[in-house]
Amino acid sequence: MAKLQANILFVCTGNICRSPFAHAFFTKLVNQKRLRGIAVESVGLLALPGNSATYMAQRVAEEFGVDLAEHKAKSVSKELVAWSSLILVMEKSHEDTLLTDFPEAEGKTQLIRHFARFGSKRRGIADPYGLKYDAYRFCFLDIEDAVLGLIDFLSEP
């Protein structure tokens, strides 16, 4: 059992599709692997606080054994940025916005795909909002790969 100290913040646009899935899937794996000392949150840069995850996000997340039914969107804040030891964004534009609004995030912010096991580590994860099932499924498979890579990284001695 690994003993770590990490406060991880997943960031997307509205905190209703990508970052909630990353948060919930990551939490599931942390619990399965019995990793300790890891805390996790998710936020949106343009979130409407209190919004639930989209219906399609909830539906696809269920396929991965993740329940987003109780998720409520929240906005990024100075406090959460300060709390974070690692901030993982879905797109380069998220990183740019975050660093403009919160310069203190410099040095601890990167694309979630930095941890991907397959494909480019430099590309973003496309936003499925408003699209059909296949777009959500592809998005979540992309996040799954990155989160599994992150778990591997955190599990290393």
**CATH number where 65 lies:** 3.40.50.2300
pLDDT value of residue 89: 98
- 105 burial (CB, 10 Å; 0-12 / 13-18 / 19+) is buried
pTM of the model: 0.95
Q: Taking 90 as the threshold, does the pLDDT of residue 3 lie above it?
A: no
Q: Average pLDDT of 79-87?
A: 98
Catalytic annotation, residues: 12, 18, 127
Q: Taking 90 as the threshold, does the pLDDT of residue 2 lie above it?
A: no
Predicted confidence band of residue 60 (pLDDT cuts 50, 70, 90): very high
Q: Structural domain of residue 67, as residue ranges? A: 3-155
pLDDT value of residue 4: 63
Number of domains in the chain: 1
